[in-house]
Amino acid sequence: MGSYKNIGTILIPMFIVLLLSLNYMPCKAQLSTTFYDNTCPKALKTIRKSVRDAVASNPRNAALLVRLVFHDCFVQGCDASLLLEGTGSEKASPANDGVLGYEVIDAAKAAVESVCPGVVSCADILAVAARDASVAVKGPSWVVRLGRRDSTTSNAAQAATDLPRGNFNLSQLVSNFRNKGLNTREMVALSGSHTLGQARCTRFRGRIYNNSLPIDSAFATSLRQNCPTTGSDGNLEPLDLVTPNKFDNNYFRNLLTNKGLLISDQVLFNGDSTDSIVNEYARSTSRFKSDFAAAMVKMSEIDPLTGSNGVIRTLCTSAS
């Protein structure tokens, strides 16, 4: 009997440790690269074709797709909650005002539904489309683990509190990303997605008139011509004025000469701790690309719904 007791004193704590470790196994452990291999073997090829077509017809679509996964994953995780429509939805929130490209995801979803209905989640399509968009504009590739499921609700209030804004200072950016499990270096690498796409006057006005950050004077003069102190809110300027449709490191090189378009861009190179990271990426495109790819993998695995949580939506815009 004494030996039973001894075995119990060893086995019971072991059993508890096992239970705890199972419990703490993050949901992301359930994502897998082979998730659709049997249920929808054509899923990845189908999404890639949709993305290639969209980027060929308008190169800005690459930027829009890379941005969508960020705005989805920062608000209640990578669950396609951003795509749900309706009053009080994330999509309708001021924090997502100006986010575009939804119709590219809808088209990819329709194409995937036609080959295997009800199988592939909108959340996985967002993650895969961002990767394919990067590749389509000469950016890095990365392996996307799959098996995310879709939420049935979205959270406009969380969109307002959790998404960073273009007038954030460095400490606000650092803590905003840290709240999502991303470190400072990953924040800088991910900001490098501003090598693509455009911003509206209303979002960069504060940078060109009213802030104490250094700004190249010719750059400022030219921006002010297209963005007066009032009005013309929708006028666009490229976030990377050199090569806005190509994934390269010019975004970081622009920061070295005070040509960042947003306050949140230029604060990354303004005499603080992130200067060294910006310098490193400005020197080495390959370093930037490999860090960007790794950070995109991490960002696109924030709190996914997996297993029996969530649903597979038929339409990305609607939960029912």
Ligand X SMILES: *[C@@H]1O[C@H](CO)[C@@H](O)[C@H](O)[C@H]1NC(C)=O
Could you list the residues that contact ligand HEM (CB under 6 A)? 60, 63-64, 66-67, 70, 98, 100, 164-166, 168, 173, 187, 190-191, 193-194, 196-200, 203, 239, 262, 264
Instruction: Give every CB contact of residue 163 below 8 A, 6+ residues apart in sequence.
Output: 71, 74, 75, 95, 96
Please give the Cα distance from 296 to 189 (Å, whole number).
Answer: 9
Q: Say which entry of ligand HEM, ligand X, none residue 197 contacts (CB below 5 to 8 A, set by partner kind).
A: ligand HEM
Q: Which one of 98-106, 120-128, 164-172, 253-261 is the stretch in contact with ligand X (CB under 6 A)?
A: 164-172
User: Residue 131 or residue 203: which is nearer to ligand HEM going by CB?
Assistant: 203
Give, as ranges, the residues between 227 and 266 that touch ligand X (CB under 6 A): 229
Q: What is the DSSP string of 108-140?
A: HHHHHHHHSTTTS-HHHHHHHHHHHHHHHTT--
Angle between helices 201-209 and 217-226 (to 10 degrees): 140
Active-site annotation holder among 67, 71, 109, 131: 71
Please give the Cα distance from 125 to 274 (Å, whole number).
Answer: 32
Q: Give the residues across from 85 on adjacent strands.
A: none
The residue behind tokens 């949580």 is: 309
Q: Say which entry of ligand HEM, ligand X, none residue 109 contacts (CB below 5 to 8 A, set by partner kind).
A: none
User: Residue 40 or residue 295: which is nearer to ligand HEM going by CB?
Assistant: 295
Q: Say which entry of ligand HEM, ligand X, none residue 169 contacts (CB below 5 to 8 A, set by partner kind).
A: ligand X
Q: How far is the CB of 168 from ligand X (least distance, A)?
A: 7
Please give the Cα distance from 153 to 72 (Å, whole number).
Answer: 12
User: Residue 39 or residue 175: which is nearer to ligand X going by CB?
Assistant: 175
Closest-CA residue to 242 (of 188, 190, 195): 195
Q: How many of the other CB atoms lie within 10 Å of CB of 250?
A: 19
267 phi and psi angles, rounded to 5 deg? -65, -20
Q: Say which entry of ligand HEM, ligand X, none residue 209 contacts (CB below 5 to 8 A, set by partner kind).
A: ligand X
User: Residue 35 or residue 247: which is nearer to ligand HEM going by CB?
Assistant: 247
In this chain, which of 91, 145, 205, 207 binds ligand X, going by CB under 6 A?
205
Please give the Cα distance from 130 to 48 (Å, whole number).
Answer: 10
Is 54 marked active-site? no
Q: How far is the CB of 6 from ligand HEM (least distance, A)?
A: 55
User: Residue 224 or residue 287: which is nearer to ligand X going by CB?
Assistant: 224
What residues line the site for ligand X (CB under 6 A)? 169, 171-172, 205, 209-210, 229
